[in-house]
Amino acid sequence: MTYVELYARCQSLPVAISRKTVRDMVRELTGRQGGRQVWSGRLDPAICRGLYLSSRNPDSILVRQFNGDVVVVSRGLDPLLDRFIYVKELMHMFDDPEEAVDSGDKFEDLLNEFGEAPSPGRSVPMLSEYGCFWMALGALCPEECRLDLAEKRGNGLDDHQISEKLKLPVQYVPRLFESRYPDLMKCLSKGQALEY
Amino acid sequence: MELGQKCGRIAYMMGPSQGEAQERQMTKQLQMAKERLFGQGGLDVANIKLFPGTNRDATPEQMAETINNVIADLESGDYELVDESLD
């Protein structure tokens, strides 16, 4: 899993890490040249705010225009949320074949699972949806920086200031300081799949 | 004719209810999305993943509909490439 290498490289970068920096590393590590971001006015943010698509059809717009991989985000979102959704979706360029949704049946299963209450027995593609959320956080917040912020948080530094520093949506800042975060990142930074 | 048969016949004559018609329409969106993504002559998608919307009660059919709209826009060039110099 090449996320291991991405995570390692991000540790020495100054924050805030730009989405283009992450994208360029993902391209280099996957050997794929796609991954551009586009905005769509018809991706209804109440229904779906972002979409990662990878195509194998050489005649399709996705291959001709975007080199195979594209991330679509709803137009007009908060800029920090827009950036985070893009990076989270970009992490799917690291999906292995088992995690990929590459058939109509798997696609229908994934849509159904989004509507379910959290339950045991999640499908592997759904687990990769969760995994990529944490992978994006891990890429955008080097561990040394996170530990420093954890110490200052509550001692004068609030989540809005952390959000501004890391350019992360403020609603996701507390996720960096959840007690399970170190264990989750330990797994992901070693290339191990998460279990729920 | 039994009452049950009569009711069935009346329902048949009236055609599908509004709810049934809506459901059929929605199922159509899911079928269309599957065809466009994975069907012959479609995008031959190797992977698709989603970031859910704010409405946690969104149905698979609604998600399929919005995905169909996006695919149509991508194919017709109705999208905006995001500036690479953004943070």
Q: Which of B50, B56, B85 should one mutate to test binding to chain A, selecting the residue with the greatest count of A CBs within 10 A?
A: B50
| A15, A23, A44: best to mutate for the B interface, most B CBs within 10 A | A44
B41 pLDDT band, cuts 50/70/90, is confident
**pLDDT above 60 (res A50):** yes
pLDDT > 90? residue A113: yes
Mean pLDDT of A105-114: 95
Task: Give me the pLDDT at residue A140, please.
Answer: 98
pLDDT of residue B10: 45
Mean local confidence (pLDDT), A69-74? 98
For chain A, how many residues are written? 196
User: In 3-state terms, what secondary structure has residue B58?
Assistant: coil
Angle separating helix axes B18-38 and A104-114, nearest 10 degrees: 130
Contact A56 B33 (CB under 8 A): no
Q: Does B63 touch chain A (CB under 8 A)?
A: yes
Backbone angles phi and psi of B17, in degrees to 5: -70, 170
- In this predicted structure, what is the pLDDT of residue B24? 57
Residue of chain B nearest A21, judged by CA positions: B87
State residue B11's pLDDT score.
Answer: 45
How would residue B9 be classed by pLDDT, with cut points 50, 70 and 90?
very low
Cross-sheet strand order for the sheet of A36-40:
B45-52, A48-55, A69-74, A36-40, B80-81
CB-based contact B63 A100, cutoff 8 Å: no
Q: What is the DSSP string of chain A?
A: -THHHHHHHHTTSPSSPPHHHHHHHHHHHHT----EEEEETTS-TTTEEEEEEEE--TTSHHHHHHTTEEEEEETT--HHHHHHHHHHHHGGGG--TTT---SHHHHHHHHHHHTSPS-S---HHHHHHHHHHHHHHHHHS-HHHHHHHHHHBTTTB-HHHHHHHHT--GGGGGGGGSTTHHHHHHHHTTTPPP--
Confidence band of B19 (pLDDT split at 50, 70, 90): low
Mutate to test the interface with B, among A42, A57, A132, A137 (most CBs of B within 10 A): A42
pLDDT in tens, A126-181: 999 999 999 999 999 999 999 999 999 989 999 999 999 999 999 999 999 999 99
Among A28-37, A48-57, A185-194, B40-49, the least confident range: A185-194
Mean pLDDT for all residues in chain A: 95
- Cβ contacts (< 8 Å) between A115 and chain B: which residues? 56-60
Q: What is the mean pLDDT of residues B61-86?
A: 95
> pTM of the prediction?
0.90
Taking CB atoms and an 8 Å cutoff, what residues of chain B touch A13? none
pLDDT above 90 covers a percentage of chain A that reads 90
Chain A residues touching residue B30 (CB < 8 angstroms):
108, 111
Q: A-contacting residues of B 1-60, CB under 8 Å? A: 30, 33-35, 37-39, 42-60
CB contact under 8 A, B58 and A62: no
Which residues neighbour B10 within 8 Å (Cβ) at sequence distance 6 or greater? none
Provide ipTM, 2 decimals. Answer: 0.95
DSSP letters, A12-38, are TSPSSPPHHHHHHHHHHHHT----EEE
